[in-house]
Structure 1
Amino acid sequence: MESEKNGTRRLRDRSGFTLIEIMVVIVILGLLAALVVPKLIGRTEEAKKTQSRIQIKNIEQALGLFKLDNGFFPATDQGIEALIKIPDAGRIPRNYRKDGYMDRLPKDPWGNPYVYVSPGAHGDYDISSYGADSAPGGEGEDGDINSWDAQ
């Protein structure tokens, strides 16, 4: 009788979680996931588009400095590569900065180079990222991000 009470007491004194406690925690985590996950889905594409707009603005600032120093924008055939090294073809800039205008040329968030045209159809130059599909046009995540679009 005495050993039976000690065995029961030892079982009750054990620390740990009961099945019901574990189930309650799983239900709470499931509810939290159901509320949070839908808000996070779709945010990655929005973040990529925002990053692309910021990179285009940075390229535009470097182009502005290039023009300020040299009096013109790089031509399409020189490309935005003219911002990191002096062009060796076309109109050669006379007051090119020793270290260039950018450390490196960024790729768009989908890993593609930006498309640069000068003179552009929408101004002195056009800069575009073709989005996830890497092709002109498209909607949603495949939509283009352009320097001339109002942000």
Structure 2
Amino acid sequence: MRKRVKKRKGFMILELVIAVAIIGVLAAMAVPNLIGLTDEAKVARIQSDLSTIGTAVDVYYVKNGAYPSSLSSLVGNSSEGYLKKLPEPPDKSVTYELKDKGEVTGAYKGKIYSSFGTTTQAT
């Protein structure tokens, strides 16, 4: 007499629990790294925006012999404007400001970034 071997269909509950635990461990390791990357991306965007605005300020200075009185004076139509529009900061807490000698700054999370390429702690 032959014994029939009963074939399993699907997964055992233990196999599913182990698979979920492994995915949970991997997710726990990945999430903190992803959170830090968003801040780094925002800082990179701020530095890029400051570089763009700083270049427009320099062109304004070369053409007019003086720095602009405000950032809004850089925006205009294609014949007289240096920028189509001011770049929007990546975070609502960031504002771009025009300082002395054509420096443009933006503060984010306790640091002040400059179009001159410097970073300082906010006071």
Aligned equivalents of 1:18, 1:144: Cα separation in 2: 56
Aligned to 1:128: 105
Identity %: 26
Report whether the alignment pairs 1:144 with 2:112. Answer: yes
1:106/1:113 contact within 8 Å kept: no
Q: CA–CA distance in 1 between the matches of 2:15 and 2:23?
A: 12
TM-score normalised by length of structure 2: 0.75
Query: What is the number of equivalent residue pairs in this alignment?
Result: 115
1:105 to 57, 73, 86: 86
| Structure 2 counterpart of 1:55 | 49
Question: 1 CA distance for matches of 2:37 and 2:48?
Answer: 16
1:80 equivalent to 2:74? Answer no
| TM alignment of 1:24-35, pairs within 5 A | 24-35=18-29
Q: Which amino acid aligns with 2:96?
A: Y
Normalized per residue, the structure richer in strand is 2
Unaligned runs of 5+ in 1: 87-96, 132-140
String of CA shifts for 1:89-148, please: whole Å, max 9, x gaps.
Answer: xxxxxxxx615111111232223431112xx1xxx12211122xxxxxxxxx23222234
1:39 deviates by 1.9
The verdict on how the C-alpha distance between 1:149 and 1:99 changes in structure 2, with shifts beyond 3 A counting, is closer
TM normalised by structure 1 equals: 0.63
Q: Point out which structure has higher relative CO (alpha carbons under 8 A, 6+ apart).
A: 2
Moved over 3 A (4+): none
Superposed CA RMSD in Å reads 2.5
Structure 1 position 115 matched with structure 2 position 97: yes
Moved more, 30-39 or 52-61: 30-39
